[in-house]
Amino acid sequence: MDDVDAVGSVDPALTFPTLPLPDEIARADALRRHTELVKPVESLGRLEELGAWIAACQGQSPPRPFVRPRVVVFAADHGIAAKGVSAHPPEATARMVVALLTGGTVTGVLAAAVGAGLRVEDVGVDAEPPDPELARFKVRRGSGSIDTEDALTGDEVLAAVRAGMAVADAEVDAGADLLLPAQLGVGGSTPASVLVAALTGSEPVAVVGRASGIDDNAWMRKAAAVRDALRRARPVLTDPLALLRTAGGADLAALTGFLAQAAVRRTPVLLDGLAVGAAALLAEELAPGASAWWVAAHRCAEPAHPLVLEHLDLAPLLDLDIRLGEGAGAAAALPLLAMAVRVLAETATYEQAGVPRPVLPPPGR
């Protein structure tokens, strides 16, 4: 029997507390400080807004430079990959996990280049992990093929969401002051696209992209898979956990818990591309207000991603046509945040520099 008939909440006991908002007094002070720095007023545009946002997240102005930014990758396989929706074979996920751990991947190179640590968690890869410690939060091997069956059971959804929460807690407890969540898994853009379509009321053709570089035939297979999975997901679209059960995956569920818990822990997050964006939509449903603690790193080249940004009312920092995922876009944007913080913390004021203030015209002139 199709599990889509089992409509209803997976577990109403999984709730998040009322979330704190970033400190508006610290934000206002940071913006005031920008008017005192040796530069024309508002001349740094969004860099000024970003610095003030970090000040608000940290609750102090000027903000502290980041000391432990962390890229956290959740890896899992997706049953839909067997339907030919990706340019990569399903077994590539396990090999990519090993490559992440041994170095040489784009994510590893970018993380090192911007001074971010890297953590990898196997929550659903369809293989034995190279190190048992890597799979301490593993929910299952692979997921159901979402065009015809549920991705996870209700218990598995809860386990994955709680795994993401636990990883967020562990990172914050270890001193992480900026989090860059990411997803790795062949076929992962298909469930992500389904979730975005369900939550934004979009049609399959509006969300299906080329992702791993698929050809026209694979694109048509992917579009059909999204169409069929979306049909199964629509009856549960008002229930985030049931939606993850029906059309998500262990990585997407873990990301959802991670994003919500990061907000609970008052820790700023740089959102990556489509998969993280889909999880962000669900995290905001589970923990309203969580999005105040996030900044969109970039506009992903996947067509579903602008729908995410519009729904969350987030303006991306970069638009580089990146569609890789795996934290690449978030890592590329990290230097902008670091610069925004250091400008506030280290730039001299007019008084300190002994420079006369400019004479500004009266308001309205």
CATH code for position 121: 3.40.50.10210
Residues in the chain with pLDDT values less than 70: 1-13, 361, 363-365
- Please give the model's pTM, rounded to 2 decimal places: 0.94
**Can 326 be counted among the known catalytic residues?**
yes
Residue 52 lies in a domain: no
For 113, list phi and psi in degrees, rounded to 5: -65, -30
Residue 233 lies in a domain: yes
* Cβ contact 37:324 at 8 Å: no
Relative to beta strand 294-296, strand 269-271 is parallel
The pLDDT value given to residue 4: 36
The pLDDT value given to residue 11: 54
Query: Of 132, 153, 224, 138, whose CA–CA distance to 185 is shortest?
Result: 138
Count Cβ atoms within 10 A of the Cβ of residue 102 and give its class: 0-12 exposed, 13-18 middle, 19 or more buried. Answer: exposed
The pLDDT value given to residue 103: 85
The C-alpha atoms of residue 220 and residue 230 are separated, in whole angstroms, by: 15
Residue 125 lies in a domain: yes
Set 48, 326, 346, 351: catalytic member: 326
The pLDDT value given to residue 5: 35
* Residue numbers of the domain that contains 94: 66-334
The C-alpha atoms of residue 273 and residue 328 are separated, in whole angstroms, by: 8
The pLDDT value given to residue 358: 83
Residue 74 lies in a domain: yes
Residue 134 lies in a domain: yes
Residue 280 lies in a domain: yes
Residue 82 lies in a domain: yes
Tally of domains within the chain: 1
The pLDDT value given to residue 9: 42
Residue 38 lies in a domain: no
